[in-house]
Amino acid sequence: MIRRLLAVWHARNLEFLRDRPTLIFTLLLPIALVVGMSFVFGGRERPVFKIGVVAATINPDSHPFLRERYVEFVPLPDRDAGVQKVQHQQIDLLFEPSGTPRYWVNTDSPKGYIAEKLLLAAAPAAQRQPVTGAAVRYVDWLFPGILGMNMMFSCLFGVGYVVLRYRKSGFLKRLHATPLTAFEFLSAQVLSRLCLILFVTGVLYAGIGAIIHFHTAGSFALLLLLAVLGALSMIALGLTIAARFSSEELVGGLLNLLTWPMMLLSGIWFSLEGSPQWVRWIAAVFPLTHVLEGARAIMLDGAGAVQIAPHLIYLGATALLFLGFGAWSFRWRVE
């Protein structure tokens, strides 16, 4: 069984690595996206202070500080999320006007220092809650998103269309005439794609990381485990689509139906914080959401295995579920 699996795995790897245009595109697209997005959103900082306010909406009448000029006030109903933004220097200060006024300021942030002076001029009795943490630029936040997006496309289309092509061309039918089982074939496809994705993602991680001077805060081993489980879950999801259909239009449509909501709702480009609860419920179904939340927690906050365990468990469980369904519904030939 292992020999048959390895034979198919090896042949698929050769096919992918020799398909130069696809390989180059797979590597260049994410680099171009990161560079482009960091250019558009990263650029020069805007000449205003950005201060979070623990409230559902900003009411300038509720506190004199909220009437300051050249300050952008952002409502942040979730205080913990707001504190995290202060730690990452995504906002310069977090102000809670209700009750006894309090504020959180990052003592490592020069802009936080100035913003604090401004606040104390308007609210001298506000209680200081100091936090620390290096700045997280948008590009740092975007980086895991781009890697995850590339992984998602590679998992879903790379497996879905390849199996469909094999079926339509009759190659699967020819394999069916050998002792190879559906389980062996699918396992070889999953393992081949997994190895290639890890290789490509590793190259991108090193390459883009060097360009944007990114340093992962947490464990590489944990990040690798998350990447393996995430890729397995999404490859298996691609197999469930490609398992039996023979129509390129149908498979293309179904894959788009899966990828576009993930593109928009999994938090690749922007955080889902503050979005309606139903959007977050939908997002929580997608494997990519768990990959990105787990990856950002490891890469930006240095989270450990315990903190991201729910993501790991979800990805592992969905990988098994999708693989089982894919193997059960697999068809060798065009019906």
Chain residues binding other proteins by CB under 8 A are 3-4, 6-8, 10-12, 14-15, 18-19, 166, 169-171, 173-180, 332-333
Sequence length of the chain is 335
Q: How far is the CB of 171 from other proteins (least distance, A)?
A: 5
- Considering the complex, state which of residue 195 and residue 263 has its C-beta at the smaller distance from other proteins: 195
Q: How far is the CB of 5 from other proteins (least distance, A)?
A: 9
Q: How far is the CB of 334 from other proteins (least distance, A)?
A: 12
- Considering the complex, state which of residue 13 and residue 62 has its C-beta at the smaller distance from other proteins: 13
Enclosing H/E stretch for 51: strand 49-53
Q: How far is the CB of 165 from other proteins (least distance, A)?
A: 9
- Considering the complex, state which of residue 14 and residue 56 has its C-beta at the smaller distance from other proteins: 14
Q: How far is the CB of 329 from other proteins (least distance, A)?
A: 17
**How far is the CA of 170 from the CAs of 163, 207, 241, 247, 252, in angstroms?**
11, 39, 18, 14, 19
Return the exposure string of 156-169: e unless at least 16 CB atoms fall within 10 Å of the residue's CB, then b: bbbbbbbbbebbee
* Three-class SS state of 213: coil
- Considering the complex, state which of residue 7 and residue 35 has its C-beta at the smaller distance from other proteins: 7
Nearest to 232 by CA among 316, 308, 161, 158: 316
- Considering the complex, state which of residue 143 and residue 166 has its C-beta at the smaller distance from other proteins: 166
Residue with tokens 């959103």: 41
Phi, psi of 267 (to 5 degrees): 85, 35
- Considering the complex, state which of residue 196 and residue 262 has its C-beta at the smaller distance from other proteins: 196
> For the residues of 82-129, what is the DSSP string, one character each?
HHHHHHTTSSSEEEE-SSS-EEEEETT-HHHHHHHHHHHHH-TTPEEE
Nearest to 102 by CA among 92, 89, 116, 84: 116
Q: How far is the CB of 283 from other proteins (least distance, A)?
A: 37
Q: How far is the CB of 313 from other proteins (least distance, A)?
A: 36
**136 alpha-carbon distance from chain centroid:** 16
Q: How far is the CB of 151 from other proteins (least distance, A)?
A: 23
Number of helical (H) and strand (E) elements in the chain, helices listed first: 12, 5
- Considering the complex, state which of residue 20 and residue 213 has its C-beta at the smaller distance from other proteins: 20
- Considering the complex, state which of residue 7 and residue 212 has its C-beta at the smaller distance from other proteins: 7
Q: Which residues pair with 104 in a beta bridge?
A: 94, 129
